[in-house]
Amino acid sequence: MSETLDLVEETSFDTLCSWLKMKAKRDEDIPLDLNLIENKLVDSIVFVEFMMMLEELAGIQLEVNEDLLKKVYSLQAIKENFFQ
C-alpha cells in the first residue's frame, strides 16, 4: 500500500517538475535545491499558475503569503512539504 502511494505521489511530483521545466523553457532538469524565485524561474505570473498546478496535483488548497514562500522556494521544499 505504502509503495503504491509513494509511486502515485512521485508521479504527481514529476508532473509538476516537468510542467515547470516547460514553463521556464529549460532543456535540462531543474535542480531540486535551486531557489526558484531568486533565480527567476518563476515571476509573479508563472507563480500563480505554479501554485494552481501544485494545488491540483497535491489535492490541496493554498493561501499565498510569506509563510507559503518558505514552503515552495525550491522543488525539494515542495516535495518535502506537499508530496511526502
Partner 1 sequence: MDNFLSRVRTLTHSSIEKHRLAFNRFEWPEKIQDDMWWHSPDALSIATSAIENDWSEEQKMALAKWECINIFSLNYTGELELMQEVSRIMHEVKLGEAKEYLHHLIDEENQHMWYFNKFCQTYAGKVYPSKKIQLEKQKLEKPMDHFLVFARVLIFEEIGHYFNVVNARDKRVEPFIREINEAHYHDEARHIAFGRQVLEQLAEDAIVDDNAADFVENQLDKSIAINIGSIYNPQAYRDAGFPQGVLLREKLLNDPSRMFIHEKKMLSGVKRLLGKCGLNVMEETAA
Q: Using the rule CB under 8 A, which residue among 64, 70, 76, 80 binds partner 1?
A: 64
Cα(23)–Cα(9) distance, integer angstroms: 21
What DSSP line would sit under 22-55, residue for residue? Answer: HHTT-SSPPPTT--TTTTTSS-HHHHHHHHHHHH
Q: Using the rule CB under 8 A, which residue among 2, 3, 5, 65 binds partner 1?
A: 65
Based on CB atoms, which residue is closest to partner 1, 47 or 81?
47
- Using CB under 8 A as the binding rule, whether residue 52 contacts partner 1 is answered as yes
Residues near partner 1 (CB under 8 A):
37, 42-45, 47-49, 51-53, 55-56, 61-65, 69
